Structure 1
Amino acid sequence: MTGIVEARWTSRRDMAFDLVLAGGLTFFGVIFSMAQAGLAGVISLGMLGPLLFRRTHPAQVFAICSGTAVLQWLAGIDLMFGNVGLLVTLYAIAVYGNVKQSRLALGVGMCGVLMAVSRYYTESDWRQQFTMLFAFGALVFGVWAIGERRRTRALYVAQLEERAAQLERDRDRESKLAVSNERTRIAREIHDVVAHGLSIMIVQADGGLYAADANPDQAKKALATIGDTGRASLTEMRKMLGLLKQDSQPELDPDQPRPQPGVSQLPELIENVRNAGLTVDYQVRGTPRDLPALLGLTAYRIVQEGLTNTLKHAGPGAHTSVDLEYGREMLTVVVTDDGRGAAAASSNDPGHGLVGMRQRASISGGTVNAGPRAGGGYEVIARLPYDLPTGGTQ
């Protein structure tokens, strides 16, 4: 805001009003000045005609009217109806001009009062001169003050409107950001579900194909595991995809808890992986405690992703261990294997799984370190504090 009220015709009604005002005052000014000799009519026209543009060019109109008034003073022409134009232009520049222009116009107006009294009341006694000086000064200041108050009020209203518009833009931006974050979360969930499910299905399919001739019962068991895993993954993925249907789904309540897996579901997850043929040791250290839903979900997904990577990269005969340690201030999750996954992980591409684990841990205020072990194999260590960072949401 520069302190300038936008000077323009906002409607045909404003334009018509200015036309009637300028035309009417000019007509009556010329009529009343016809009895005066010489330049009276021209001077009235010079002070009243420009009023048509008082909104769009307040400073220029005030300068023209003031210059015409000085010409009147130099010519010795008495005060007349056309001098009303000075008050109208003073009001206009106070409303539509900036602060500097408005105050300068007030000073010019007060100088005009002194000039008028010194020219037209020289024969009066000092009391009458003082009275006229006070009356004209009060009139000029009153007109200016009314215009200044209107300008200030218009600026205040404009600032309120701008603030309301900014708040609305901020609300829309936050809403879009929340939707984007929610979609990112759902995409991460879908990746974890699909990657884990497909890894188990691939391992079972390979094992079933190998045992189809030698051990039909083992092949049937592998096919059953593939079917159960596929159905479970499909069911969970359908639930997540349902959240993306904005047109048919009601707006999500951020305060409403969503049913998500946690550390209590880890034994079931590990059992499914064991059924896929991977040897997994599961151990819990420390005293288990109730965890926030977000922290439990983060720990579950990290273990799930770690086991998925082991299935994909560790190779046959690999052994895996999952350790949960309930410390004093944080939960430590360790997933290790003794396979050949370190060679597969040496690529420059960290993969979506590792990036997802680090993002989850970061949201929970924790960290994830992953890489080859010194004695061979691969290791994932996640440290997740119990106290979630301020603003952390599921």
Structure 2
Amino acid sequence: MTGILTARPLPARSRAFDLLLAGALCVTAGFLSLAQAHFGGILAFGMLVPLIWRRTHPELVFFAVCSVAALQWLIGVDLQPGNIGLLVALYAISVYGDTRLSRIALGIGGLGVLMAVSRYWSNADWKQQVTMMVALGALVFGVWAFGERRRTRGLYVAQLEERAAQLERDRDRENKLAVSNERTRIAREIHDVVAHGLSIMIVQADGGLYAADQSPAAAKKALATIGDTGRASLTEMRKMLGLLKQDEPNELDPNQPRPQPGVSSLPELIDNVREAGLNVTYDVTGQPRDLPALLGLTAYRIVQEGLTNTLKHAGPGARTCVKLDFGREMLTVVVTDDGRGAGVAPSSDPGHGLVGMRQRASVSGGTVSAGPKAGGGYEVIAKLPYNLPTGE
């Protein structure tokens, strides 16, 4: 339970509002009470001035106002406009005060109703006394219940805000973890790509050394191959070094090399997906060309992820089309389906497939866009330039 002497933090705007409210009540109800009875007016200010701190110290304010009202009852001062401070203090403790003390305050309010009826309507008949008791009791309980409802709603909104903030933090953490995992996977694949290039360079160097004396032309060709392969591998490594922060060489097994898929492996991938029950068409436009290993791998993974998402989300009977367009400067990869697409409600867990696609495309200097199509279905478009920036 929060101590009643502990001040609640309050924005400057709220403090200013409380000051203006207490001032307005003092000017109106306070001076009206002062006009009715001199000493009673002074007591009215004693019930109105503490309202300045109604939100920072709601329990102290309520009990202070009740103490002044009890003094008013004891000395026989009639009810006056300043007694509205009791209702404001009761509302304040029900909204901002401790829950247990708020219920105690309701009980004190009920006791105050009995005391008021016994003093100020003691000469009335019993019907009038009952009527006033019910009316004052309903007023007190209504003010308290309204404050409790306000408190409950405020707590509910605060919980929703905290939950939304926690979900956002979790999503950011999951996205960062997904990017980290994807970079680790890419690092392993690049290790294989570069290792393949180095293997070619070693074989060509050994062959060139062997043929240097007997066939200078073959040696020159071997040296040219070494230069081309080295430059391509170096370009890929420079690109990756700018993105990858951590590698795990202990998990790489050089004794078990894995062949890296590329564009030429897409027909086999599509056949496997067809066997899983997905209707897929494959279309290639433009003049196919030999692609760098990294670029071919990126295109393959994007198609693979797009088909996987289609299997998961497009629904039964969906038709899918994979298109590769070999343009003059870039390769365009398009994966579309006519499944449920935009008709499906957004998922609370968007997954990490699109994160991985974009990460892979950025490594190759390209971009990926994905989203629902007009009329239904989903579309993934990747634009992958042939030439990687060399960097520093």
Structure 2 length-normalised TM = 0.55
- Amino acid corresponding to residue 230 of structure 2 in structure 1: G
Q: Which amino acid aligns with 2:70?
A: V
1:91 partner amino acid = Y
Give the superposition deviation at 1:54: 0.9
Instruction: Tell me, in whole angstroms, the C-alpha distance in 2 between the residues paired with 1:220 and 1:214.
Output: 12
Listed as ranges, the matches of 1:220-231 within 5 Å are 220=220, 222-227=222-227, 229-230=229-230
**Residue 154 of structure 2: aligned partner:** 154
> Equivalent residues in 2 for 1:202-281 (5 A)?
202-214=202-214, 216=216, 219-220=219-220, 222-227=222-227, 229-230=229-230, 233=233, 241=240, 261=261
1:86 is the counterpart of 2:86: yes
Structure 2 residue aligned with 1:47 = 47
User: C-alpha root-mean-square deviation of aligned residues, in Å?
Assistant: 3.7
Contact 2:204 2:225 in 1 (8 A): yes
Pick closer, same or farther for the CA change 1:50–1:289 going to 2, 3 Å: closer
Matches within 5 A, 1:1-394: 9-12=10-13, 14-27=14-27, 28-36=29-37, 39-214=39-214, 216=216, 219-220=219-220, 222-227=222-227, 229-230=229-230, 233=233, 241=240, 261=261
- Alpha-carbon contact 1:22-1:51 (below 8 Å) kept: yes
Gap change, CA 1:190 and 1:64, over 3 Å in 2: same
Give the match for residue 380 of structure 2: none
> Share of identical aligned residues, percent?
67
* 1:58/1:97 contact within 8 Å kept: yes
- Contact 2:94/2:144 (<8 A) preserved: yes
Question: 1:316-355: CA deviations, max 9, x gaps?
Answer: xxxxxxxxxxxxxxxxxxxxxxxxxxxxxxxxxxxxxxxx
Structure 1, unaligned runs of 5 or more = 246-259, 266-287, 293-299, 302-390
Rg comparison, structure with higher value: 1
> CA offset at residue 145 of structure 1?
1.8
Given that 2:178 and 2:352 are in contact with CA atoms closer than 8 Å, whether structure 1 keeps it comes out as no
Which piece of structure 1 moves more, 19-28 or 141-150?
A: 19-28
One-letter code aligned to 1:127: K
SS at match of 1:127: helix
Cα distance, 1:90 vs. partner?
A: 0.7
Q: CA deviation at 1:235?
A: 7.2
SS at structure 2 position matched to 1:122: coil
- Structure 1 pair 262/291, CA: closer, same or farther in 2 (3 Å)? farther
Amino acid corresponding to residue 19 of structure 2 in structure 1: L
CA contact (8 A) 1:34 1:40 kept: no
C-alpha distance in structure 2 between counterparts of 1:263 and 1:11, whole Å: 63
Change (3 A) 1:80 1:392: closer
AA aligned to 2:66 is S
TM-score (structure 1 length as normaliser): 0.55
How far is 1:31 from its partner? 4.4
CA deviation after TM superposition for structure 1 residue 47, in Å: 0.8
CA distance in 2, matches of 1:212, 1:392: 52
Give the secondary-structure state (helix, strand or coil) at the position aligned to 1:152. Answer: helix
Opposite residue 261 of structure 2, the aligned amino acid is P
Report the CA distance between 1:141 and its aligned residue: 0.9
Deviation at 1:290, TM superposition (A): 5.2
Contact kept in structure 1, 2:32 and 2:81, CA below 8 Å: no
The number of aligned residues is 255
* Distance of 2:159 and 2:23 partners within structure 1: 34
What is the CA deviation profile of residues 190-211 of structure 1, one whole-angstrom value per residue up to 9, with x for unaligned ones? 2222222123313432442244
Aligned-residue offset at 1:291:
5.1
**Counterpart in 1 of 2:361?**
none
Residues in 2 aligned to 1:235 and 1:20: alpha-carbon distance in whole angstroms: 69
Shift of 1:60: 1.1
Contact 2:33–2:44 (8 Å) recurs in 1? no
After superposition, give the CA deviation of every residue in 1:97-132 in whole Å (9 maximum; x if it has no partner): 243232222111111111211222222222121111
- Give 1:264 deviation, angstroms: 7.2
Aligned to 2:369: none
Unaligned runs of 5+ in 2: 245-259, 274-292, 295-350, 357-392
Q: Per the alignment, in what secondary structure is the counterpart of residue 223 of structure 1?
A: helix
AA aligned to 2:11 is T
Offset of 1:87 from its aligned partner? 0.4
